[in-house]
Each structure stands twice: as structure tokens, then as C-alpha cells.
Amino acid sequence: MRTLVVTAVPAERDAVAAVCAAAGIDVLAAGVGPAAAAAGTALALARAERGTREARGSRGARKAPYGLVVSAGIGGGFVPLAPVGTPVVASEIVAADLGAETPDGSEPFTSVAELGFGTAVHRPPPELARAVAEAAGAAYGPVLTVSTATGTAGRAALLARRHPGAVAEAMEGFGVAQAAALCGAAVLEVRTVSNPVGPRDRAAWRIPAALEALAEAFGRIVPVLDGWSERVPEAR
């Protein structure tokens, strides 16, 4: 089975391109936010599936479908679990602001799952996610997907309270995970921390350092991904 890495922007794609190309892993920059991530991932997975069907029985090189999709890029880190520069790997990929505001009561939000309308959490294969986290020396815990980046200490504290052990926040993981689930592929989320989750402070961002750390982390992660993909049976 093949592996697809999905980033938001070309700078993240370019950071991992060389090490992924050497391993035959495709990389796609799908855009910022959960909708762009879901759309780009679903299109790539569907095209690969169609390519496999069309190649079946033909003499052309048969390309397997994707069995694993990795949402990768920079993200905000929940201090102190994930300081700036830290790699993080998701134990859970959580839609943290997909639901309804509930003004009454102690909890101001109820998730789409609690409302009975669908899934709010996707879980990577734990054995693989833990192995990737170990290889990368990453913080391991829930990674939150938001449509609006946190900009206050109060919001950061509320998210940390609602999601104990959360290591990072970003804007694409749940979209990638939804598309992967639709196509029967496993999912991972791997990020490096560019800024602390909390008060909006662009001066505190360390994007070049986070991109460098992403490239370095993928150098250690790709052999683990290769090993896992070889163990997964070929396409049906």
C-alpha cells in the first residue's frame, strides 16, 4: 500500500519533499483549514483508487491505492507539553470546534458527536502512532483541529481542560482524517510546534525553525512508515 502526506501550504510540503520522494511517498499541499484538507485528500485518494482499478488487467505499472495518509505541518503547541520546536504525533485527531455553542450550563460547547450528528474524533493505529512518536522523539497526545486559531489564554485553557493531554492545535488534521476514513485508509498526524497556543503574538512564531524540525522529524519517521506499509497487504 502507498502512503500520502498532506500538508496545508507548499512550504510544509517542500520541507518533507526530499525525504518522502526518496521513499516513494507522495506529498500534497491541499490548502489551509479542514475543508481544503478534506477536499484535497479525498480527491487524491479517489484518483489513486481509480488508477488502481484501471491498471488492473492492463500491462501498465500497477499503482497501489493509498493505505495510509499523514496530515503533516506546523502547529501550535500546548505548553508545557509541547514547547516551540517540538515534534508532536496525534494519539487522537479531534474536531475541537465542530458542534454547538451552549450558553447555559458549565460547558459552553457541545461537540457534533455529543449532538448525535457524527464523529468528532479519529484514532490513528496506536502501534504505528506510538512507533512514529518514538522515532521522532515527539510529544504524543490528542491533536486538536480548529477552524479558528486560538488567540487568547482563556481559550487555550478551555481547550486544554476539555481535552486532557492535548499536545497541539492545527487546522487540517480532522479534514484529512475524515477523507482517509471515507476511503478506508489509516491516518496519522505529525506536526512540529511553531508557536504556543494562546495569546495572539506573531512575534513569538518560529516558522523556519518549525519547518526545519519537520524535515528532521520526517527523516526519522519515514523508515517507520515504510516498515508499516510493507506489512499492510497489497491492494485488493
CB-side exposure of 144: number of CA atoms within 13 Å? Answer: 27
Binding-site string for ligand LNDFFVEH from residue 31 to residue 50, where x marks contact by CB under 6 A and - marks none: -x------------------
CA-CA distance, 184 to 156, in Å (whole number)?
Answer: 33
Which cell numbers hold the place of 72?
503533516
Can you tell me which of 34, 65, 75, 87 binds ligand LNDFFVEH, judged by CB under 6 A? 75
Report the 10 Å Cβ neighbour count for 60. 10
Residue linked to cell 480527491: 43
- Asked if 186 contacts 69 with a C-beta cutoff of 8 angstroms, the reply is yes
Q: Which residues between 170 and 199 bind ligand LNDFFVEH (CB under 6 A)?
A: 170-172, 194-195, 197
In whole angstroms, the minimum distance from the beta carbon of 9 to ligand LNDFFVEH comes to 6
CA-CA distance, 195 to 83, in Å (whole number)?
Answer: 8
**Dihedral class, residue 138 (left if φ above 0, else alpha if ψ from -120 to 50, else beta):** beta
In whole angstroms, the minimum distance from the beta carbon of 126 to ligand LNDFFVEH comes to 23
Can you tell me which of 49, 97, 169, 189 binds ligand LNDFFVEH, judged by CB under 6 A? 169
Establish if 8 lies at the interface with ligand LNDFFVEH (CB under 6 A): yes
In whole angstroms, the minimum distance from the beta carbon of 60 to ligand LNDFFVEH comes to 36
Which cell numbers hold the place of 179?
477523507
Decide whether 73 or 87 has the Cβ nearer to ligand LNDFFVEH. 73
Residues at the interface with ligand LNDFFVEH (CB under 6 A):
8, 32, 73-76, 146, 149-151, 169-172, 194-195, 197, 200, 202
